[in-house]
């Protein structure tokens, strides 16, 4: 299958249903954005560590290169069954993902990692494959034990690399959107945030970004991404903010999702800007809304 990649952050001529990730830029862009956002931030040290982790992901993605995905027959079967072709839960992972984990761990800069993180890296480097595979399974099905959250952070980061490489190898026109539009059509995972574009022939298009494989899919703006309700939506933001990141809250299902407005900053990144705006999560969470889905790196980090 041919590779079909795009960049809604750079403007879209029309709201394509699905835009696949570009592994050459996905993690490097997040790392660079986190470095910018960390300056003067109350969580500066943590954001700088996450920037270094994203840079390690970039190196892993570059070193691994293309990863073989499902056959054409398997893709057609998934489409016929209205299932994502890379369904994360139950997916038979290629052992190459563990090589990506090794590369990532080797490139975590100890200068930016706190002592517990350095200890976790050393422990993971010494663990057998069975432990790592089991932890990957538990992360993907949402059953990570509290004792393993430190290790799961790095496993989650490696799985992001692996699934991003897989998604990049799909043929976008062959992958339809799911009936449940709040789930990624490629791997079935939830979005980390949405971006409302500001350029191209159709500015204002909204794309949701997959928290696992980084695919972006178009979603109508006037509907809750959790329940589909349109009459109960409102937007919340921290007083005095620039309007770059807002929480779209739904009073029907009492959930919220972060939306990023590219018109306020053309360098916005759906992964980095989510990590840097935890204050907004705290504000709307205290007001009674539940997040549509957690950022996987926040869930375990």
Pairing of strands 290-291, 255-261: parallel
Query: In this predicted structure, what is the pLDDT of residue 146?
Result: 86
- pLDDT, averaged per 10 consecutive residues of the chain (301 residues), comes to 41 76 98 97 94 97 92 89 92 94 91 80 88 94 89 96 97 92 95 90 88 96 91 92 95 96 95 96 95 82 40
Query: In this predicted structure, what is the pLDDT of residue 218?
Result: 94
SS3 for 24-60, per residue? HHHHHHHHHHHHHHHCCCCCHHHHHHHHHHHHHHHHH
Helix (H, G, I), strand (E, B) or coil at 5: strand
H helices present in 107-148, as ranges: 115-126, 129-140
Count of helices and strands (H, E) across the chain? 10, 8
Residue with tokens 């422990």: 123
**What is the separation of C-alpha 265 from the centre of its chain, rounded to a whole number of angstroms?**
20
Determine the angle formed by the axes of helices 129-140 and 96-106, rounding to 10 degrees.
100
From-to residues of CATH 3.90.1670.10 in the chain: 17-174, 191-300
- Report how far residue 129's alpha carbon sits from residue 110's, in angstroms, rounded to the nearest whole number: 24
Residue with tokens 């072709």: 85
Query: In this predicted structure, what is the pLDDT of residue 15?
Result: 76
The CATH number that domain 191-300 falls under is 3.90.1670.10
Query: In this predicted structure, what is the pLDDT of residue 8?
Result: 53
Query: In this predicted structure, what is the pLDDT of residue 4?
Result: 33
Greatest Cα pair distance in the chain: 53
CA-nearest of 3, 63, 1 to 27 is 63
Do the Cβ atoms of 225 and 194 come closer than 8 Å?
yes
Question: Residue 58 corresponds to which tokens in the numbers above?
Answer: 């970039």
Q: Which residues are CB-contacts of 54 (< 8 A; sequence separation ≥ 6)?
A: 27, 28, 30, 31, 34, 271, 272
- Kindly report the pTM of this predicted structure: 0.92
| Class of residue 10 by CB neighbours under 10 A (exposed 0-12, middle 13-18, buried 19+) | exposed
Pairing of strands 233-236, 216-218: unpaired
Domain 17-174 has CATH 3.90.1670.10: yes
100 DSSP β-pair partners: none
């Amino acid at each position: 299958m041919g590779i079909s990649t795009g960049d809604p952050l750079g403007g879209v001529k029309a709201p394509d249903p699905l835009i696949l990730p570009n592994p050459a830029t996905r993690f490097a862009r997040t790392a660079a954005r986190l470095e910018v956002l960390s300056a003067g931030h109350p969580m500066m040290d943590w954001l700088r560590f996450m920037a270094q982790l994203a840079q390690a992901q970039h190196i892993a993605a570059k070193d691994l290169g293309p990863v073989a995905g499902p056959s054409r027959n398997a893709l057609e079967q998934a489409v016929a069954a209205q299932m994502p072709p890379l369904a994360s839960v139950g997916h038979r992972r290629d052992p190459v993902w563990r090589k990506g984990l090794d590369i990532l761990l080797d490139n975590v800069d100890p200068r930016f990692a706190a002592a517990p993180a350095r200890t976790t890296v050393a422990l993971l480097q010494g663990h057998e494959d069975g432990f790592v595979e089991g932890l990957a399974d538990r992360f993907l099905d949402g059953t990570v034990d509290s004792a393993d959250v430190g290790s799961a952070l790095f496993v989650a980061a490696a799985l992001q690399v692996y699934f991003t490489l897989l998604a990049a190898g799909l043929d976008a026109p062959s992958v339809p959107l799911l009936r449940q539009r709040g789930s990624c059509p490629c791997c079935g995972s939830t979005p980390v945030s949405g971006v409302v574009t500001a350029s191209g022939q159709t500015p204002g298009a909204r794309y949701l970004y997959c928290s696992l494989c980084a695919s972006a899919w178009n979603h109508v703006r006037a509907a809750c991404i959790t329940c589909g309700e349109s009459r109960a939506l409102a937007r919340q933001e921290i007083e005095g903010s620039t309007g770059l990141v807002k929480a779209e809250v739904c009073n029907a299902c009492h959930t919220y999702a972060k939306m990023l407005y590219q018109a306020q900053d053309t360098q916005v990144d759906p992964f980095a800007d989510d990590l840097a705006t935890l204050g907004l999560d705290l504000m709307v969470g205290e007001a009674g809304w539940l997040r549509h889905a957690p950022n996987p790196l926040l869930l375990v980090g």
